[in-house]
Structure 1
């Protein structure tokens, strides 16, 4: 058990060689494979939902913890699947941007496809189990939100990212779906105000992704990945980010 590496993996995506990877415990490997350093992007909407529920005198601390854990596991599943699909399609080969800023366990030969599938299955299974528990408590709307969330988890990397809908998906997920859904679970009622109030943060998360895709624009264009920056062109994409 390497608590120092756990903390490091929660702050940034570390660079490791095969020997260092083999020396890691299972939790540290999972944190790196799941890109745990970016899961804070999901933690914040949960905190926003919790604060809004507190304001409305409808806060349930236990349900807040469960919905937060479930959404973090769903995001982690998406990260693992994203790297797996990109690896299998050859997107990360060569000097692709994603493989430069931190270790990519699959592409760098640190873990197998089978291990990645196992990580995704266990992580996704935990997210699903929590979702079913919350469904039993809060009812059908949770099941609908789960279905929409599962669609984005499974199909963000392909085909949504390839047809200019990845950025739109992030706006929807980190906005009304995540914040509105978390509020519903915590407070027990749907709030359109919470959904609308989520949009400024969702625009921030989308801007991060937009900037990332601008950095990869030339590579993505060459690999026929039609992100919005590829479709808009670099100049228009940069102005779009300024507007956001």
Structure 2
């Protein structure tokens, strides 16, 4: 039983789940500065977001396998199917079940907190399903990066906020920018690494469309703009002065940028760049959350 749980946990790609945890938490904490913090609803909204992301990760693994985007040689999936830990059908059914659970939670939150949550949840669920699922297969058409920014930036941050206070705040949308950019950088790092295998599979990610040099500049820009946005928001007092502590993660960011800069094309040297970028996003996000939490 424990071994089976570990397999499913691995299929969910836990290292990436900060992508949903951070924005929902930022939105909820920011709302807590305006009214009483509803911890139970925060946990429910967080669980719904994590379930939707985990289901997308599982279904993405399945779709990439079926469409021959992932192979044993590419090493870009969770490896669950290739190691015969789960069959493709089991992974697909599991992903759909997790998606259904996330949708049920979302419907409950919409019933409790308003129709706007239903809109956000529907957009999130459909985006996760059609990220690689037929007929849209958005990632395979070069739309992965902008979609990820929207979902893991404004949508989830605003969702975490709205569940608490049932209103929209433009400052929350601004707060979503740095974390959304870093989350997009995780996906972009993954796409840069996988260009060779993605080309063989006949799909077109953003990295394939704009080429190596353009892809590198996009990554540099995503990382740089994350820090610049915090500086600007601090200057205009949208975020507290303590949010400048996010700058302590700069060495990690520069290390990732350097790794990409000196890599010889799309090579094995970039194998862990997506995970390293996920660590950066997590560290940056936690510091931003703490700075908001302890601000007046």
SS in 2 for 1:67: helix
Structure 1 counterpart of 2:292: none
SS in 2 for 1:198: helix
**Deviations 1:121-144 (CA, angstroms, capped at 9, x unpaired):** 321121011011101111211111
Pair 1:221 & 2:199 matched: yes
Pair 1:194 & 2:172 matched: yes
SS in 2 for 1:98: coil
Partner Cα separation in structure 2 for residue 136 and residue 187 of structure 1: 14
Partner Cα separation in structure 2 for residue 89 and residue 137 of structure 1: 40
2:159 to 157, 168, 181: 181
Pair 1:162 & 2:140 matched: yes
Structure 2 counterpart of 1:6: none
Pair 1:108 & 2:86 matched: no
Partner Cα separation in structure 2 for residue 112 and residue 39 of structure 1: 23
Structure 1 counterpart of 2:9: 31
Structure 2 counterpart of 1:144: 119
1:43 to 16, 21, 34: 21
Structure 2 counterpart of 1:118: 93
The question of whether the paired residues in 2 share the 8 Å contact of 1:165 and 1:228 is answered with: yes
Q: 1:66 to 1:136 in 2, by over 3 A?
A: same
Structure 2 unaligned regions, length at least 5: 223-296
Partner Cα separation in structure 1 for residue 146 and residue 18 of structure 2: 20
RMSD: 1.5
The question of whether the paired residues in 2 share the 8 Å contact of 1:220 and 1:226 is answered with: yes
Structure 1 counterpart of 2:66: 88
- 1:3-22, aligned counterparts within 5 Å? none
Structure 1 unaligned regions, length at least 5: 3-23
Partner Cα separation in structure 1 for residue 221 and residue 72 of structure 2: 33
Structure 2 counterpart of 1:19: none
Partner Cα separation in structure 2 for residue 187 and residue 59 of structure 1: 9
Structure 1 counterpart of 2:186: 208
Partner Cα separation in structure 2 for residue 190 and residue 63 of structure 1: 17
SS in 2 for 1:136: helix
When normalised by structure 2's length, the TM-score is 0.70
**Deviations 1:191-232 (CA, angstroms, capped at 9, x unpaired):** 221112101110011112112211111221222221111110
The question of whether the paired residues in 2 share the 8 Å contact of 1:92 and 1:107 is answered with: no
Partner Cα separation in structure 2 for residue 142 and residue 94 of structure 1: 40
TM-aligned CA deviation for residue 86 of structure 1: 0.8
Partner Cα separation in structure 1 for residue 166 and residue 146 of structure 2: 27
Structure 1 counterpart of 2:221: 243
